[in-house]
Amino acid sequence: MAALTREQFFAVLAPIVIRVRQEGSTMFPSVRLAQNLLETGGVIHAWNNLSGIKVGNGQTNAYWHGEAVVKRTWEHIDGRDINTKAAFRAYDSLYHFYKDLDLLLATPRYDRVRKAESPERQAQMLLACGYATDPNYPLKLMAIIKQYSLKKYDLMGKPPVKPEKFRDAEIVAVVHGGQAVSDGYLVHGVTWIPARRVGELLGAAIDWNGKQVTVNGVAIESVLSNATGYVKVRDLADRLGLTAGWDALARVVTIG
């Protein structure tokens, strides 16, 4: 992907960062977004790795399935910047990347990062715990946070309110094109999604005929809750000639 304006960059990432925070991440969205800009220069690559997570021991998990790219990188070693090559993890989506990074930050090494009570403290602890090697890393993060007023996103991480008719549902991520585009509500093995939000993003004409949602003029099974029409993700995908997949380990629905 080409370099984005700063506004576009944060507009793409902020909803996903906020979602992961709502799911229990200990990372302040402001810190996370500042890291992403600092470490990518504002470019979102196809491999969806925004923080230079390396392959490491190669152990796969629910969010990283073993894919990798080899890229040149800078390391700050013994007071010098060294240009070298390294293997970096590649992800199915930006949501997968953030969730995998949280697994790394859940290890004992990063205890002080998780317990940080402010963005300033968290930025400092990322350096102190060895996440970063640049001694100016915390200052750079805080400068970005201030310049782009990123602390506003820290106020948006409260758990989402479920629609009335999906109170007992499990909230899962719905991913398309590498990005988490919506919440889905999983009930008895079926994921329901907001028809207009997802359908129009996929290029469909979404309407309501008084009883059901219509997709390009065709009515499909629907649930109306809180003035929003919800449809089964597979029904919407089928109507548009797409496929809907389910990643049981990551708890993610993919539309592609």
pLDDT in tens, 135-172: 999 999 999 999 999 999 999 988 888 999 999 999 99
Q: Of 128, 156, 184, which one is at a domain's C-terminal end?
A: 156
pLDDT at 183: 94
Ranges of beta strands (E only) in 126-242 are: 170-176, 179-187, 190-194, 206-208, 213-215, 218-220, 222-225, 228-232
Regarding whether 110 and 139 lie in a shared domain, the answer is yes
Percent of the chain surpassing pLDDT 90: 84
Check which CATH number belongs to the domain holding 62 and give it: 1.10.530.10
> How high is the pLDDT of residue 22?
93
**Residue 2, SS3?**
coil
In this prediction, residues 60-67 reach a mean pLDDT of 95
pTM assigned to the model? 0.80
- Is the same domain home to 119 and 59? yes
Instruction: Tell me the two tokens of residue 255.
Output: 């539309």
Domain, as residue range, for 84: 6-156
Question: At residue 77, does pLDDT exceed 60?
Answer: no
28 lies in some domain: yes
